[in-house]
Amino acid sequence: MRMIREVLVVGSLGLGSLFGDEKSVEKKVQPKIEVKDGEFGEGWGDGNGPGKIPKGMKKRGRKSDREIFTPLFNGKDFTGWWGLGTENPEKWMKLSPEKLAEKKKKSMESIHAHWKVVDGVIVNDGKGLYLTTEKHFEDFELKLEFKYAKGADSGIYLRGIPQVQIWDPKIGHKDAPKGSGGLWNNKKGSQGKDPLVFADKPIGEWNQIFVRLKGDIVTVVLNGKVVVDEAQMHNLFNKGGKIPKSGPIQLQTHGGEIQWKNVEIREL
């Protein structure tokens, strides 16, 4: 069967394959480039062939070492993580090594009070500081799964900058029904501020999200649907300024329980 669609290609894999299922990533737009079945190599999408390669996404053959995702979470504890709120990275990164070490140590009180690991899944009660990677990243592709409870209001900070929005669409905010995945702190009306389509699964079901950050350009795919298509990420702490060249990944939370698993990254 031959089909024409626009799909997002990451390395040699379709987004569906990255999460271990057989669904490809689809956008409801007019296709421009047709390719043959199997042209992207093993593991490509649902096997129904051709798609369009958006700009910046190169067609590749079999996966190389650089295309392998690395777990950020060991499945047991919070080794490699600490706690941080919504804070300007330009400021806390200037702390002396001693002051920063003290800040990180103190933050773990909040992490241990509000975050836990249950059967390999990260669980947060909707309170406390945000789980933050010790390691800083420049350009990367991040993929993870999340499941939220009623009233959850969460997100993913990129290089310490908020945020890819994740929330209960019935939380009561006027924009919540648009769904998750948008760049919440972008200026109103700007590209990426709101998700292109509603893609959330029902409350209590696992969602799969993929985020690609290159420079300050972000692409977000939620449950196989492109919700942000190569939009510039705005810097909440420096209006009109660029986001930092490097910084941590943060899992933000408040309002309601949220769970995370299979948190993995590929540096570009």
Domain boundaries, the chain: 1-65, 70-267
Pull the structure tokens for residue 254: 């408040």
Q: Which residue has the higher pLDDT, 45 or 177?
A: 177
pLDDT tens digit sequence for 57-94: 444 444 544 468 999 999 999 999 999 999 999 999 99
> Which residue from 212, 267, 264 is spatially nearest to 80, judged by alpha carbons?
264
pLDDT of residue 52: 38
The answer to whether residues 259 and 122 touch, using CB atoms and an 8 Å cutoff, is: yes
Q: Which CATH number fits domain 70-267: 3.30.30.60, 2.60.120.560, 3.30.360.10, 3.90.105.10?
A: 2.60.120.560
> Which residue from 224, 247, 223 is spatially nearest to 235, judged by alpha carbons?
247
Pull the structure tokens for residue 15: 């987004």
> Which residue from 27, 54, 9, 52 is spatially nearest to 226, judged by alpha carbons?
27
Quote the pTM value. 0.79
Write the Ramachandran bin of 89: left for phi over 0, alpha for psi from -120 to 50, otherwise beta. alpha
The C-alpha angle with vertex 156 and arms to 102 and 189, in degrees rounded to 5, equals 125
